């Protein structure tokens, strides 16, 4: 079976740079996946796409060395299994607050006897290889998102669930839950993030986190997160375009004679 290089990098303590796609386009997914990132997450929770678009995006990502991941809208085993059948190698599930929910996520990602994933690998065989079913349980990643007050309180129980391959911190929802808003400073949620990272490191469970940009990703990596997501595609696109417009307008303003000089 095709190896999951995200798992091998995490096991070796190496950084994983993860792209995040909210635009439903296989073309942009293909371009981003060839940018040098180690993994690409298709966001079905807040992204502007459905399953059909996500399938095309996963196919585009598969043309690159990057590992295809997905964030599902919620803890829906049938939808999780469908996306795994489409060939994704890891499922990030939002709003996991209890060990029971974490166990349900793991079960949806594992074939019997370690879970209840239904047989029907479809595209998984094409992407993973003919021995996909024999090795999927050890290759596919189950990744709970930690972004509620209860999840922080019960983090040791969640981390103890067998089959949790990584946890992924959602700092913005955590800020809503603990600080009441997403504005900085975020004293309570930042303290909670440190608590979660420390607990995960004690258990030997890797930590991923969504970041505002590359600078934020560097700081989170220094804090102990091994997988970092330096913003999403829409944010990079709009920031880059705005910066280009600002630069161009400033340059044109400096180099264009005033209207008064032309008698206007």
Residues acting as catalytic residues: 46
CB 92 within 8 A of CB 72: yes
Q: Which of 47, 45, 51 is nearest to 87 (CA)?
A: 51
CA distances from 211 to 73, 126, 252 (A): 19, 32, 34
Q: Find, among 32, 51, 43, 20, the residue nearest to 211 by Cα.
A: 20
**159-179 burial by CB neighbour count: b if 16+ within 10 A, else e?**
bebebbbbbbbbbebbbbbbb
Q: How far apart are CA 242 and CA 248, in angstroms?
A: 10
User: 125 — phi, psi (to 5°)?
Assistant: -65, -35
Residues 121 and 136: beta-carbon distance below 8 Å: yes
| DSSP code for 63 | T
H/E element holding 191? helix 187-203
User: Which region holds residue 171: left if phi is over 0, alpha if psi is between -120 and 50, else beta?
Assistant: alpha
Rounded to a whole number of angstroms, the distance between the first and last alpha carbons of the chain is 71
Tokens matching residue 83: 């996306």
């Amino acid at each position: 079976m095709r190896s999951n290089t995200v798992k091998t990098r995490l096991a070796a303590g190496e950084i994983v740079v993860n792209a995040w796609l909210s635009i439903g386009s296989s073309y942009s997914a293909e371009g981003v996946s060839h940018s040098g990132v180690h993994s690409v997450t298709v966001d079905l929770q807040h992204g502007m796409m459905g399953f059909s678009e996500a399938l095309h995006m996963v196919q585009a990502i598969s043309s690159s060395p990057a590992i295809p991941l997905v964030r599902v809208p919620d803890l829906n085993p049938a939808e999780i299994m469908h996306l795994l059948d489409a060939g994704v190698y890891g499922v990030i599930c939002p709003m996991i607050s209890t060990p029971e929910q974490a166990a349900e996520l793991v079960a949806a990602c594992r074939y019997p006897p370690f879970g209840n994933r239904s047989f029907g690998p479809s595209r998984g065989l094409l992407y993973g290889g003919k021995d996909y079913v024999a090795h999927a349980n050890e290759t596919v990643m189950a990744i709970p998102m930690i972004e509620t007050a209860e999840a922080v309180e019960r983090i040791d129980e969640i981390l103890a669930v067998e089959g949790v391959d990584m946890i992924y911190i959602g700092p913005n929802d955590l800020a809503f839950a603990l600080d009441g808003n997403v504005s900085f400073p975020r004293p309570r949620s930042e303290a909670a993030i440190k608590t979660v990272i420390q607990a995960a490191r004690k258990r030997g469970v890797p930590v991923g986190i969504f970041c505002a940009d590359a600078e934020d990703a560097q700081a989170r990596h220094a804090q102990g997160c091994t997988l970092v997501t330096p913003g999403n595609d829409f944010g990079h696109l709009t920031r880059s375009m705005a910066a280009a417009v600002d630069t161009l307008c400033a340059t044109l303003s400096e180099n264009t004679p005033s209207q008064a000089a032309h008698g206007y």
